[in-house]
Amino acid sequence: EAQVTQNPRYLITVTGKKLTVTCSQNMNHEYMSWYRQDPGLGLRQIYYSMNVEVTDKGDVPEGYKVSRKEKRNFPLILESPSPNQTSLYFCASALLSGYEQYFGPGTRLTVT
Amino acid sequence: DAKTTQPPSMDCAEGRAANLPCNHSTISGNEYVYWYRQIHSQGPQYIIHGLKNNETNEMASLIITEDRKSSTLILPHATLRDTAVYYCIVRVAYNNNDMRFGAGTRLTVKP
C-alpha cells in the first residue's frame, strides 16, 4: 500500500531533550516536506526537500533541522525542543514539486 | 495575504450534493486551484485540482468560473465520512512550497 508513515505518532517530552520524528514514504517520491499545524494558524511548512541531499527552509524553520540522505526518508530533528514547538506535525511527499502531496498520519508532540 | 476566501462552516444532508464555494479573485494566470480535505486530525488528503476547465474524478467535481475568480467543489452524494475541513488552495503548478492552507470550510454532513 502506498503510504507515508511517521513515528512516533504521539510524543511527550521535556524542554531541551533532543528528539527525532521519522518520516518514510514507499512511493519513490522525490519531493518531501514537513508541516506543523496549530489552532488558528493552519498548516505551515517547516522544511522541504526537492530530492536526496537537497533541502530548504519553509515558512517556519527556526528550531528544526532535517536531512535527506535517502529518497524514502526525511526525518525532522528538534535539537533542543521548547514548549512553543508543541504542535501536530505532518510529513508529506509528492512525485515531484508541483504534484499533489500525500500526507502522513501526523505526530502529536507535547514539550513540557 | 490570503489568496482564497471560504465560508467557515457548512452543513449538508447525507445523500445530497455538497457545494463548497471558494473565492480567489486575485488568482494569476499560471495558478491552479487545489482542494484538499482534513478529516478530524488526520493528514490532509488531496481531492482535485484544475486550471480553468471543470474537472471531475472519483471523489468530486470542480467547477471554475470563466473569469477564474471563484470555484466550487462538489461532492455529489455526501456521506457522513465526508465530514471534514475542506481547503481551497491557489498556487502555481510547479511549486509545492507555495501551498498555503487557510482556515478552510468545516463541512458537517448530517444524517
Q: Which helix (H) or strand (E) holds B48?
A: strand B45-50
Can you read off the three cell numbers belonging to residue B13?
A: 444532508
B8 to chain A, any CB pair closer than 8 A? The answer is: no
Mean pLDDT of B55-61: 97
What pLDDT, on the 0 to 100 scale, is given for residue B3? Answer: 85
pLDDT reading at B21 higher than 70: yes
A7 to chain B, any CB pair closer than 8 A? The answer is: no
Nearest alpha-carbon partner for A34 in A79, A86, A101:
A101
Of A94, A100, A106, the CB nearest to B43: A106
Could B49 and A100 be called an inter-chain contact, meaning their C-beta atoms sit closer than 8 Å?
yes
Low-confidence ranges of chain A (pLDDT < 50): none
Band (B43; pLDDT cuts 50, 70, 90): very high
The minimum CA-CA distance between B16 and chain A, rounded to whole Å, is 27
For residue A51, what is the DSSP state?
E
pLDDT tens column, B66-87: 999 999 999 999 999 999 999 9
Could A98 and B96 be called an inter-chain contact, meaning their C-beta atoms sit closer than 8 Å?
yes
For residues B13-40, one letter each, b for 16 or more C-beta atoms within 10 angstroms of the residue's C-beta and e for the rest, the string is eeeeebebebbbeebeeebbbbbbbbee
Could B94 and A104 be called an inter-chain contact, meaning their C-beta atoms sit closer than 8 Å?
no
What pLDDT, on the 0 to 100 scale, is given for residue B2? Answer: 60
Instruction: Output the average pLDDT for chain B.
Output: 93
What pLDDT, on the 0 to 100 scale, is given for residue B102? Answer: 87
pLDDT tens column, B27-39: 998 899 999 999 9
The minimum CA-CA distance between B14 and chain A, rounded to whole Å, is 26
Instruction: Output the average pLDDT for chain A.
Output: 96
pLDDT reading at B95 higher than 80: no
pLDDT reading at B1 higher than 60: no
Chain A residue at shortest CA distance from B104: A42
The minimum CA-CA distance between B52 and chain A, rounded to whole Å, is 17
Neighbours of A94 (CB within 10 A): 20
Band (B53; pLDDT cuts 50, 70, 90): confident
